[in-house]
Amino acid sequence: MKVSTTVADGGVLAEFDAVLAAAVPELAGRVNATAFDVDSGRLDVVPDAPACGTQLRWSAPKLIAAVNATVSGGLVRALYVLASA
C-alpha cells in the first residue's frame, strides 16, 4: 500500500481521535489510526482489543461519514481494522 503524504492524509490522522470521540464515544481512546492512503481512501486503524475491533467494524459507516464530514478532502472510503495491539 502506497501511503500518501498530503494535507488530507495529515488531517485524517490528526483529527481521528476527536472524530472518533464524537461519532463513537465508547471507543474513544481505544483505537489508533495508523495510516491513510489518499489514492484508495483506505484508513487503517488498530483497536486495543478484539472486542473493540468488532464494535469498530459495526460502527465503520458512521465513523467514515464523520471523518469525511470533518476533514476537508478526507475522502475515506474504507476502514481497515488491523489486529489488536
Instruction: Note the pLDDT of residue 9.
Output: 53
- C-alpha closest to that of 67 among 40, 26, 36, 46: 36
Neighbours of 10 (CB within 10 A): 13
Rounded-to-integer distance, Cα 56 and Cα 67, Å: 14
Whether 73 and 11 have beta carbons less than 8 Å apart is answered as yes
Q: At what angle do helices 7-23 and 50-70 cross, to 10 degrees?
A: 120
- In the DSSP assignment, the letter for residue 41 is T
Instruction: Note the pLDDT of residue 72.
Output: 78
pTM of the model: 0.85
**Per-residue tens of pLDDT for the chain, all 85 residues:** 433 444 455 689 999 999 999 999 999 999 999 999 989 999 999 999 999 999 999 999 999 999 999 987 769 999 999 998 6
